[in-house]
Amino acid sequence: MTGRRPIPVNVDLSTTQDPHHGERGIPAYARDFALAFDRVADLSAVEPLWVVDDAYPVPAALAPLAEAGRLVPLSEVAAHRPPLFTHLMSPMYGPGGRLDTKRWLDAHPVPVAMTVYDLVPYLMPDDYLGETSARARFHASLEWVKHADLL
């Protein structure tokens, strides 16, 4: 694209920061997606801002995004150009709550796209949602999904 600014898109990568299982499953997919996208995307057309949670360590594998200046903690997102939309890589999975993300989205309303990987707990609640806290987290995540602009 010539003569036009790239389209800014914020992508929530907090799912990659899982301290227990960050190297496999959904966190690994989200990490690999971000690295591949950033490597092959036409950065003159799209400007991804990869957003991580300030409260958790950033995986070393995301260093190329940080070195390129496109990996930022949620607390610094407001200093960047407003996005056309925000993409939550996994509203169902992450190391902590989504309170900071929710506060940011409420303060900067833009359309929200989500990728949903795992509804198995919904289909098999006895196996996956036996604990009250797990059930509460899962149902809070479903609320996120209900309000998505695009799945």
The model carries a pTM of: 0.83
Nearest to 53 by CA among 19, 8, 5: 19
What does the pLDDT look like over 79-119, one tens digit per residue? 888 899 989 888 877 655 555 667 667 766 889 898 887 78
Confidence of residue 45 (pLDDT cuts 50, 70, 90): very high
Q: What is the tally of structural domains in the chain?
A: 1
What whole-number distance in Å separates Cα of residue 68 and Cα of residue 64? 6
| CATH at 89 | 3.40.50
Whether 111 maps to a domain, the answer reads yes
Closest of 48, 143, 52 to residue 100, by C-alpha: 52
Assess if residue 1 is contained within a domain.
Answer: no
Per the structure, the complete domain to which residue 125 belongs is given by 7-146
pLDDT of residue 66: 95
CA separation for the pair 135, 113 (Å, rounded) = 23
